[in-house]
């Protein structure tokens, strides 16, 4: 039996699964931000928290500390005191993901925050790494 290399290569590539061209598996939805008076409202805050698989209160606490302002969480929306731009929220959410979502070892977002006594750890479900994270 004699095989042609090109025919074998075409047959092998046709049997390979379709590979996604996305760089990141975890993509945040576009923030829906409204400014009413001196308040900034993120309408889809619960959706953002669900994509990151984190408690909305934890994310809100991080954002309020970083922005040095007061905020409340009500019915899936986050309401911040003051006028803020979308890019500042997006930049801070990227920092939150680097610190509290992405595994520092394998860089995957498959993690959970586990609290033991007074310490919090980021436990990766993909590689099994445990790394300490700072308290908020």
pLDDT for position 22? 42
Average pLDDT, the chain: 88
Could you give the domains of the chain?
A: 28-101 (3.30.30.170), 104-136 (no CATH)
Q: Which residue has the higher pLDDT, 21 or 135?
A: 135
For the residues 22-28, what does the mean pLDDT come to?
A: 63
**pLDDT surpasses 60 at 58:** yes
Q: Which of 100, 95, 56 is nearest to 78 (CA)?
A: 56
Model confidence, pTM: 0.77
- Render pLDDT for 82-106 as a digit per residue (tens, 0 to 9): 999 999 999 999 999 999 999 898 8
**C-alpha–C-alpha distance, residues 23 and 16, integer Å:** 19
pLDDT band for 24, please (50, 70, 90 cuts): low
CB 103 within 8 A of CB 129: yes
């Amino acid at each position: 039996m004699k095989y042609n290399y090109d025919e074998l290569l075409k047959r092998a590539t046709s049997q390979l699964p379709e590979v996604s061209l996305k760089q990141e598996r975890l993509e945040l939805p576009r923030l829906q931000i409204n400014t009413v008076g001196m308040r900034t409202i993120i309408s889809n805050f619960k959706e953002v928290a669900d994509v990151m698989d984190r408690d909305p209160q934890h994310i809100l606490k991080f954002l309020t500390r970083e922005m040095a302002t007061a905020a409340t969480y009500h019915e899936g929306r986050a309401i911040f005191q003051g006028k803020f731009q979308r890019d500042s929220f997006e930049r801070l959410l990227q920092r939150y993901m680097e610190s509290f979502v992405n595994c520092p070892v394998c860089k995957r977002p498959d993690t959970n925050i586990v609290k033991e006594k007074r310490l919090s750890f980021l436990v990766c479900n993909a590689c099994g790494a445990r790394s300490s994270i700072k308290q908020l």
